[in-house]
Amino acid sequence: MSTSKLMPAAVALFTLGVVAIIAMFVVGERGLPAWVFAAGWLLAPAGLALGVVSAVRDARRPRRR
């Protein structure tokens, strides 16, 4: 079974978003620049959505014999 090229990108986006969210909780809201907040709240959902799209595309792809 081959995986699409979207899935590694989705995992990377999601991971970066989660790391940014964890950094927000560890450092606190006053110690980080605004781009960390934007990364946390935009990258994690974008990575999750891209992963779902990739999984659905792979599931719907006709299988070759």
Q: What is the DSSP string of 1-45?
A: -PPPSHHHHHHHHHHHHHHHHHHHHHH-TTSS-HHHHHHHHHHHH
d(CA 25, CA 29): 8
CA-to-CA dists, residue 1 to 26, 29, 33, 61, 65, angstroms = 39, 44, 42, 11, 11
What pLDDT, on the 0 to 100 scale, is given for residue 30?
Answer: 76
Higher pLDDT, 46 or 58: 46
pLDDT at 25: 86
Identify whether the C-beta of residue 39 lies closer than 8 Å to the C-beta of residue 23.
no
pLDDT of residue 51: 93
pLDDT (tens digit per residue) in 6-49 = 899 999 999 999 998 888 888 876 777 888 888 888 999 999 99
Provide the pLDDT confidence category of residue 65 given band limits of 50, 70 and 90: low
Res 1: pLDDT: 42
